[in-house]
Each structure stands twice: as C-alpha cells, then as structure tokens.
A and B are shown apart, each in its own frame.
Chain A
C-alpha cells in the first residue's frame, strides 16, 4: 500500500503527467470519444516535454550572453522574455504551476459566477505563465505545499478577473460594445496609456493619417526575435572583444559567427517553447471555455492583444516604435546607473507597445498613442529592475518577466511578503478582491462613468 501511495505521489509530481491529467479530465467532462481523449491527452503530455526541451536551448544561449555582457560592460544584462524565464523556472516549479493553473481556472469561473467580475480569461498561455509566476513569487515569500497552491490559485482566479475589468472602460471605446473583454497581462501599461491619452483629447485618430505599411513581418515573432537577439549579441560581442570570447566562451569559433548562431539559437528556443505551450493549451482551453459558457452564461471572454489590432492598424505600428524608442532610451539611462541593464525585447515592446498605442489612440488620437506607448516603454524597462531582487535565485538568469502585470503583482506581493510575511500576502489578496468587487458595483451604477480600476493596481 505504501509503495502504491509513493508511486502515486511520484506520478503526480511530474508536471507533464499532471497537465496531461488536467487535459484528460477536461476531455472526459466534454464527453469526447476514446480516440479524441487518447489523442488530446498524449498531445498535452508531449507539449510539456517539448516545453522543457526548449528550456535547455534557451538557457544554453543565454549563458554565454550573460558572460559576454558582464565582460563588455561590467553589469548584468537582462533580456525580458516570458517564455525564456518560464521555461527555466518550470524545472523547479512545474508541478505547482500546473496545479495553480488548474485550480486558478476554477477560481476564475467561480468568481465570474458569484460576483460582478464577469470576465473569463481565455488567453491560456498567459494563464499558464501567471500560474508559474505566482508559484515563484509565493515560494520566495516562503509559502509551500498545500497552502502555496491554495493561495496561488485564489490569487490567479482574482488576477484573471481584475485585469480585464481594469481594461474594460477603454475596451468599450475601442470595440464599440461591451461584449468582449481584454485578457493580456500588460494591462497596467494599457490603462496608463489610455490615461495619458486623455490629456490629448481632440487629437485626430491614428487611422486618419497615412502611415507606411510593410513592417508587418515584425508580427512574425520568430523572425523579430532572431533579428533583435542577433543584433544585441553582436553588440555585446564587439564590446567584449574577440580574444576574450574566442579564448573563454566560443571554443575558438569566430566571435561574430558565434554571436549570430547564439542569437538565432535563442529564437529557436522560444520557437520550441511556444510549440510546447500550444500543445499544452490545445485541449485545456476549449474545455475551460465550454465549462465557463455553461456555468456563467452572461460572462465576457477576455481575449489576447491582437483582437484590438484591426480596430487601429496604424496605432499598432506607431505604438510599437514609440515604446521601443522609450526602451532604448531607458536602457541608456540604466547604463549610467551602473546596476542591472534591461535590454529592449522586441516581443514585449511589440505586443505591449502596439496595444498601448491602440488604447492611447482610443482616448487621445495620434498624440495619445505616441505618448501612451512611450510611457508603456518606460514602464516595461524600469519595472523589471525593481522586480529582479524579488525573484530569488532566478534573478540571475539574464532574462525575466516582460509584461507589466506580472511585474506589478510581483513587486506588490514580493514586498508585502518581505515585510509582513504570509498573513500580509493573504490579507492583500483578500483586500484587492473586496475592493475590486466594490469598485465594480459602484461603476455599474454609473455605467457610463470614465473611471476605471486604476486605484487598485
């Protein structure tokens, strides 16, 4: 009997098995056929193994980069990228993350069912990243075991409902209706951008100007990561010097050739990780969506960034450029402080910058789009600096979380955990929930009010 129990514990502590079981349960609830259940469960299992394989590729590419950057500039260089940091963290936190994701989704449905926060968060990869992120942050705050999973799941459920609620006033302006929510964890930047936009009321819309198209190839993230990482790598290599690299790092390979290969290797790693993530989500998200539609018929689905792009295609490009320029300027500013330097990652600046552009345009036209996404670019450059010390051992990884909501949640919970311990963290989570339900009902009474939920973030 004891042997059986320990076997069961062994099986359940393998994250790949755990996500496969979650998918299996989802397929079972949907009454799928035996062949579909077999296929779906296997693919989910496979997805997790693929994800872990990608982690090895990304870490292998980041290690020499960290050494080169340190040699070149004497400071730690960090490229924010969610996929990279998740894949590195998954080895230690995979099981906890899978459990938090599963129960967090249930918490999200219950919250939508029994409170006025009617948002179902359907951007699955962000749900998964946030689950992993909470596992890390709460572990650093000394939570463990069952308590960690319970607190993490409740926090995740709340986060999945609150951030879309914050974005909704501007979403109504963008889409012209109240049927769809916005679910992407860069919300703090988007809400800030919409707020900045209000300063420029009356500026004409980005869509009334002629803006060159033709940069849409940057939407292809594998291409844009390859290009930017290669450039960043070559710059670090030039400053670190040929002799240092060829003697200590590249094993004699020419330093520029080595840099190009490593830059593209990083992109290859992210590519592999994303394939894994796609496989993991393929069965879990439709089940989550189906169950939420049954249980909460009047809910709003909160969806990924690109749903707002077609509403303002010019704002997308303007926002990306403006945010990226802010990121470059912020990087130079960080060089002078002599601490950690956050390098502008093209993926966060694209998705968060573009979305900030759309949100800023909705409230303040061209000027709002430019100013709002510029502020977003500064936020995603400086927040990681505040957050890195709270990441525990993962703070030395040359990569970190890139999106505002992770960083804000991390900075708040991390600091509360540091000064007030576990009771403080739990109290904060409960207070935020109560406050947001109260604010939402107040807003509901004056539904056309221009207020938003900024106060709670």
Chain B
C-alpha cells in the first residue's frame, strides 16, 4: 500500500505531513506502507492508494481518489485517528 501527502508546491507542508504519517505508522506498528509527498500539479490517482491533504486544498484534489482531509495539518492526533480508522476499514490494522 502507498500513501501520498499532497500540498500546493510539494515542498514544505506535504513533506511535514509525510514525516508525521511515518511517525504515526511507526506508533501503530504498521510496516510495509510506502509514504511520499508531492505537489498538487503533478499528483495523479495512480501514484498512491490513499492521499492526505489539508482542508483548504481538498476541493482541488477530488480527482485523486481516496482522500484523508486534515482540518489542521499540524495536528498529529487528528492524523493518527484518521489514519488508524482508515487502516481498520481496510483490515490492515
């Protein structure tokens, strides 16, 4: 499985989210998930199975596929609960 964090220019905030996702996955003891980050412009639906994005860009990312939308991209707790419930649905957790 692959997760992609997305932001406007693919440099700062999505990179931050990627590092947070990796931390969260470590806490949840999930191993074989690949996490990357990219800019909105070059993100395509085949790049990942799950996309993580901030609320303010969610509209522009509707074509990507399955989204996790973050109200506060800095909030690790929010990220953790949304990721873990998503993985539970997929029976990965």
A interface residues, Cβ below 8 angstroms from B: 122-125, 175, 180, 184, 213, 216-217, 219-223, 271, 274, 277-278, 281, 285-286, 289, 303-307, 309-310, 313, 316
In this complex, which of B12, B15, B22, B60 has the most chain A Cβ atoms within 10 angstroms of its Cβ? B12
In the complex, the answer to whether B54 meets A310 with C-beta atoms within 8 Å is: yes
Encoded as 1 (CB less than 8 Å from any A CB) or 0, chain B from 62 to 83 comes to 0000000001111000000000
Contact (A289, B19) CB under 8 Å given A306-B12, A309-B54? yes
B24 CB to nearest A CB, Å:
14
Find the B residue at minimum CB distance from A123.
B12
In the complex the two chains form, what is the Cα distance from A217 to B68 in whole Å? Answer: 20
In the complex the two chains form, what is the Cα distance from A180 to B15 in whole Å? Answer: 16
Interface of chain A, helix or strand or loop or mixed? helix
In the complex the two chains form, what is the Cα distance from A94 to B70 in whole Å? Answer: 37
B residues 21-51 in Cβ contact with A at 8 Å: 22, 37-42
In the complex the two chains form, what is the Cα distance from A125 to B7 in whole Å? Answer: 15
In the complex, the answer to whether B13 meets A277 with C-beta atoms within 8 Å is: no
B interface residues, Cβ below 8 angstroms from A: 7-13, 15-16, 19, 22, 37-42, 54-57, 59-60, 71-74
CB-CB under 8 A from A213, the residues of chain B are 59
In the complex, the answer to whether A216 meets B56 with C-beta atoms within 8 Å is: yes
In the complex, the answer to whether A222 meets B42 with C-beta atoms within 8 Å is: yes
CB-CB under 8 A from B37, the residues of chain A are 278
Contact (A222, B39) CB under 8 Å given A277-B11, A304-B11? yes
Q: List 10 A-B contacts (CB under 8 A).
A: A124-B12, A175-B74, A213-B59, A219-B8, A277-B11, A306-B54, A307-B13, A307-B16, A307-B74, A313-B56
Find the B residue at minimum CB distance from A122.
B16
B45 CB to nearest A CB, Å:
16
In the complex the two chains form, what is the Cα distance from A201 to B46 in whole Å? Answer: 48
In the complex the two chains form, what is the Cα distance from A285 to B7 in whole Å? Answer: 17
Which of B11, B40, B73 touches A307 (beta carbons < 8 Å)? B73
In the complex the two chains form, what is the Cα distance from A217 to B39 in whole Å? Answer: 12
Contact (A125, B11) CB under 8 Å given A216-B59, A219-B57, A307-B74? yes
CB-CB under 8 A from B54, the residues of chain A are 306, 309-310
Which of B16, B22, B40, B57 touches A304 (beta carbons < 8 Å)? B16
In the complex the two chains form, what is the Cα distance from A184 to B55 in whole Å? Answer: 21
In the complex, the answer to whether B57 meets A216 with C-beta atoms within 8 Å is: yes
CB-CB under 8 A from B72, the residues of chain A are 310
Contact (A306, B15) CB under 8 Å given A216-B59, A219-B8? no
In the complex, the answer to whether A310 meets B55 with C-beta atoms within 8 Å is: yes
In the complex, the answer to whether B8 meets A221 with C-beta atoms within 8 Å is: yes
